[in-house]
Structure 1
Amino acid sequence: MIIDMQRGMSDPAAGERNNPNAEENIQRLLTKWRSTCWPVVHVRHISRTPGSPFWPGQPGAEFQPALVPEPKEHVVEKNIPCAFTHSGLERWLHAREIKRLVIVGVSTSNSVEATARTAGNLGFDTHVVADATFTFAKQDYAGAYRTADEVHAMSLANLEGEYAVITRADEVLLIVS
């Protein structure tokens, strides 16, 4: 499952991010999934806020060129962080008897975390690929600045064990080879 890998996420205006090689790792995983003919789900955020880079028809809402879905791949559009809410994704996965999810994309602290939490709660064997996800720096609730690496690490810690297994691209590629 590739979450929100849209052109707007690579805009420098999005702010300081971590994992500069995340896109390369996502492409490696996608290439492997396609070569084995395993199901691929692309998730795209479509904003309800006029003027957003993710507003329908804006260039930022389009998939990044290297990650454009192939015709046989499933696309889920969402308006909130969780890819399961109001999307039919759970039904689509169950209809295909898919029980294990490997999640990559952006942002770790938002849509990736929200989707992985729901997947875990729904009973899916959920894996989040730490070096194929990324997030952005932000202020915490107390107003302290947190780097993108700190935000990323905390999101992964929130997921580890209770909702998902945290792994790395090379580990996933070894398992599926």
Structure 2
Amino acid sequence: MDKVIGVLKTIMNFDGIRSCATESCAAFNREVEAFEAKNPIFYQTYSSHQEFNQTFLPFQIAWKILDKNEGENDGLVSLKSQRWTKMLSTEDGYRKEVPQHSFPIRADHMDQMGWWNLNEIHKAGWWNMRALSEKQKHEELIKSVYLKIAREVCGLIVSENKRR
């Protein structure tokens, strides 16, 4: 594996991947917390996880590593990291709540984007109408999740503007 990584380093820059490491993300979050606490942006989190055998095949190696180190995950991010924080605060006492939500279905990182179980996609063609129907239902469910989020956020913006 080290040889493969060594060869890849000669043709690819991995610096961006390092910035996604748990320690790097924690350092970044500490650095920007006061700014995020005081800005007018509404933050909220949605978290989900998936079983190993239902996780998109290329994410299964990461799933195992995350499961061993942090527990339940979506194949790319642990539940703990997805939930980020419940509260943003500043040293001068300013606090902003960060609502936490669970995604309405078990989902790996691709499912969350509406990419119906890519391990099964080869089954969803005109020759298999049941699988195609499952795929379409999944995509509609995911669309409805994001429409609900958008409507809720728009409602918050309208409410905030009315208060001003």
Superposition TM-score, scaled by structure 2 size: 0.28
Structure (1/2) with the larger strand percentage: 1
Structure (1/2) with the larger helix percentage: 2
Structure exhibiting the larger radius of gyration computed from Cα positions: 2
Higher relative contact order (CA 8 A, sep 6+): 1
